[in-house]
Structure 1
Amino acid sequence: MEADAARLATSPAALALLASMPPYDPAHALTLASQLRSGGADPAVVAAAMTQARLRAAAASKFGPFADGMLFTQDGLEQATRLAVAAHHAKRYLDAGFGSVADLTCGLGADSMAFASLGLSVLAFERDEATALLADHNLRHWDDARVVHADAMATLASGHIDAEALFVDPARRDGRGRRHDPRDYSPPLDDILDLRSTWPDMGIKLSPALPHSAVPPDTEAQWVSMDGDVVEMGLWTGRLARTRGHSALVLRGGSSHLFEGEPLPGEVGPLGAYVYEPDGAVIRSGLVGPMAATVGATLIDPHIAYLTCDAPLSTPFATGFRVVETLPYSEKRLASALAARGIGTLEIKKRGMDIDPAALRPRLKLKGDTSATVILIRVDGARLAIIAERVESPNA
């Protein structure tokens, strides 16, 4: 979005029109836009308001009702921190005793909103003018939150900023897609880490795919999942690090669960009556082995992130399945076993096998009224199909 478009989106005319519009419905969007123009509204204002209505509807999954008061760009929305995750970021600063934070790459201001809502003084930097204008609108409710249109790294290089701790969410995308090398982030990860000589207390939001080798040993690396999706890895330094090592934060159904440890291999055991799939945050953090030991399970295979045990577990860190039948994998044998059980609805999971579930499903010719999960897995080099049923695991 260009700065002029952002100024139009934040204009009183566009905001008033946006406030008067019904909830966004893509099936009626063109009709509504035509009606608004026919009613005398400026076509440019109508276009700006319709764009924001569409983006607000898309933002509801990340921001809930807060989305109805925010302004967005498409790219900014895709990269913005989910509000529930941002709240956990902010609580770290509050728990560590900080009263102010500089958000060096605020984007649309999601994390800055969370900081401000907990009473922290916020200095939010954004070098893109259009995004800074929208962030300023999104932070308008908090008197102690200020948006600065500037390059924060250049500002830090030339002088001091008035904040006790830093938060950084470097850009990991460009016009060609995702940047996988931390040296290609904007700003680069090494440049951010160099700030610790002056600013030892820092939070850095990173890709969950960041290799463990890139994690400094004196920090906390926390992988975060929300409702089953791994959404980020947070790197925490100084007093913001609650531990030194790895942790997994699992957010599910409004509850939060934390597992901390060092990435160590787990004990391997024979397939039991139950199979458990660890949460993605646990897998990414390398804590499958320590988590398995904590709950009394073993790994099915040393290279596969599936656990097994003979009794159901009560854990928020893994999803459970009761083993119904295990057979050496072949497509024909699996189809026959599913047909014999009348399974017409099938969830397909796979680990360590080069199989496309979407392509496999129609070839199985499923018929019947029952449902099941099949786990396709390689154990000691052998390919297995585990037919199973999901089990409820309380978020204890």
Structure 2
Amino acid sequence: MGYGFTLGDVAFLRSPDGAAAAAEIDRLPLTPATYLADVAKARVLAGDRAPALLETVLLRRKAVSKVDNPADWLFTDAALQQATPTPVARHRARRLEGRDVQDVTCSVGVDLAAVSEVAARCVGSDLDPVRLAMARHNLKRPNVILAQADALVPITREMAVLADPGRRDSSGRRRWRPEDFAPPLGALAETYRGRDLAVKCAPGIDFDDVPWADEVEVVSLDGAVREACLWTGGLATEARRRATVLRSDGSEWTVTDRHDDDCPVTDVGEWIIDPDGAVVRAGLVRHYAAAHGLSQLDERIAYLTGPVPPPGIRAFRVLEHGKYTEKTLRTTLAKRGIGRLEILVRGLDIDPNALRPRLKLKGPDEASVVLTRVGRSPVAIVCEAVRTDPAG
């Protein structure tokens, strides 16, 4: 749950004394090995303020994976967990360039910071007074106004609307329902009917549950699927579904359901390609395959194959393949002297962590194995992982 910040904590942290105290606490290692001793030192240095300062320093250290230069930012634990990594937030903000925008769930201001770089005017609103106070500290751009308001009670007219509703407990479900969000997705859509709306939500949402979205964009960053964004009105493009793949080096590409999806099903070729998770989640595997001259091994499985892999990806050069049995795979790996093995599975009920010790790996070499099915037959494809040239 994290430390429960109060408005008094935020006021202190925003003050010169608070900034100096946080800098002093930041000199402590705060590693697992030193944590108890460091907490004792923090209590001597800061007294009752120590818990808020310790949490702030730890959250700032965690935030380096999401926020540019977070050394002066204020967060709550829950707000940081939900915060969008800066490259993803900036990608989403590009569609809002030059617009007047209201972020109706602005929290501590991570998404609004990216929007404010390109938008004309920004209004940020949130019901939580503590997060709003943190946002006032974090956002220092002259084009940003902040207000306390319910996301389902409009306080602006005509502005484009951005929302990042909180996630309720989904009880371990892999698929999110519209009512699993706070506020619920349907209520947001109804409240801002007729307005240009962008709603960030979990990529596990069933697209059939949000028919009001004119476009669904699934975004990944460095191979990890980060979000689905539901676009409406003038913010949407002609595509109904889009997968966007971002890299920390600034490169990116996209595929949509407007692209051709003429993709054959063939036997195993020279290469196996495991499409980016954004492509799979957006249901655009065939479109991606057609764009790169690839084919499917099975029309219900996302693995692709072909003579030439797409540029700038991690692909798998096929060494040998055949019907999968555990005994046969163990024998094949032993003959090749494979001591380190990456196991990729789709379409089969196999736990890689349980399988690996049973394979009794031994030897100086390494490989990858793709375990999947073609029709009803389980198949093992032993491969060499290769990073392809970004230039193609």
Could you tell me the TM-score, scaled by structure 1's length?
Answer: 0.90
Match of 1:308 in 2: 305
Counterpart selection for 2:94 from 79, 91, 99: 91
Q: Contact (CA 8 Å) 2:221, 2:247: kept in 1 or not?
A: yes
Instruction: Return the offset for 1:93.
Output: 0.6
Cα distance between partner residues in 1 of 2:170 and 2:70: 26
Instruction: Return the offset for 1:2.
Output: 4.4
Q: Which amino acid in the other structure matches residue 256 of structure 1?
A: E
Cα distance between partner residues in 1 of 2:60 and 2:381: 42
Counterpart selection for 1:170 from 148, 165, 180: 165
Instruction: Return the offset for 1:10.
Output: 3.7
In the alignment, structure 1 residue 153 sits paired with structure 2 residue 170: no
Q: Contact (CA 8 Å) 1:76, 1:108: kept in 2 or not?
A: yes
Q: Which moved more, 1:337-346 or 1:248-257?
A: 248-257
Counterpart selection for 1:389 from 381, 384, 387: 384
Instruction: Return the offset for 1:384.
Output: 0.9
SS at match of 1:111: helix
Match of 1:79 in 2: 82
Q: Contact (CA 8 Å) 1:346, 1:374: kept in 2 or not?
A: yes
Q: Contact (CA 8 Å) 1:349, 1:374: kept in 2 or not?
A: yes
Match of 1:260 in 2: 256
What runs of 5+ residues in structure 1 fail to find an aligned partner? none
The aligned runs of 1:2-21 (5 Å cut-off) are 2-4=5-7, 5-20=9-24, 21=26
Cα distance between partner residues in 1 of 2:40 and 2:192: 54
In the alignment, structure 1 residue 34 sits paired with structure 2 residue 40: yes
Q: Residue 105 and residue 138 in structure 1: after superposition, are their counterparts in 2 closer, same or farther (change >3 A)?
A: same
Q: Which amino acid in the other structure matches residue 85 of structure 1?
A: V
In the alignment, structure 1 residue 245 sits paired with structure 2 residue 240: yes
Match of 1:122 in 2: 122
Cα distance between partner residues in 2 of 1:276 and 1:85: 24
Match of 2:355 in 1: 360
SS at match of 1:304: coil
Match of 2:218 in 1: 223
Q: Contact (CA 8 Å) 1:24, 1:57: kept in 2 or not?
A: no
Q: Contact (CA 8 Å) 1:268, 1:301: kept in 2 or not?
A: yes
Q: Which whole-Å deviations, capped at 9, do the CAs of 1:281-331 have from their partners, x for residues lacking one?
A: 00111111111111111100011001011x222345x64111111122111
Q: Contact (CA 8 Å) 1:347, 1:372: kept in 2 or not?
A: yes
Counterpart selection for 2:181 from 168, 185, 206: 185
In the alignment, structure 1 residue 334 sits paired with structure 2 residue 338: no
Q: Which moved more, 1:377-386 or 1:26-35?
A: 26-35
Instruction: Return the offset for 1:104.
Output: 0.5
Q: Which amino acid in the other structure matches residue 109 of structure 1?
A: G
Instruction: Return the offset for 1:146.
Output: 2.3
Match of 2:274 in 1: 277
Q: Contact (CA 8 Å) 2:343, 2:371: kept in 1 or not?
A: yes
Identity %: 37
Instruction: Return the offset for 1:177.
Output: 7.2
Cα distance between partner residues in 2 of 1:202 and 1:81: 18
In the alignment, structure 1 residue 350 sits paired with structure 2 residue 345: yes
Q: Residue 344 and residue 173 in structure 1: after superposition, are their counterparts in 2 closer, same or farther (change >3 A)?
A: same
Q: Which whole-Å deviations, capped at 9, do the CAs of 1:357-381 have from their partners, x for residues lacking one?
A: 0111111111111111011101111
Q: Contact (CA 8 Å) 1:266, 1:302: kept in 2 or not?
A: no
In the alignment, structure 1 residue 47 sits paired with structure 2 residue 44: no
Instruction: Return the offset for 1:198.
Output: 3.9
SS at match of 2:279: helix
Match of 2:291 in 1: 294
Q: Contact (CA 8 Å) 1:218, 1:244: kept in 2 or not?
A: no
Q: Which moved more, 1:170-179 or 1:386-395?
A: 170-179
Cα distance between partner residues in 1 of 2:135 and 2:316: 45
Q: Which amino acid in the other structure matches residue 170 of structure 1?
A: P
Instruction: Return the offset for 1:76.
Output: 1.0
Cα distance between partner residues in 2 of 1:147 and 1:31: 40
Q: Contact (CA 8 Å) 2:194, 2:233: kept in 1 or not?
A: no
Q: Residue 393 and residue 215 in structure 1: after superposition, are their counterparts in 2 closer, same or farther (change >3 A)?
A: farther
Q: Which amino acid in the other structure matches residue 342 of structure 1?
A: G
Q: Residue 125 and residue 174 in structure 1: after superposition, are their counterparts in 2 closer, same or farther (change >3 A)?
A: farther
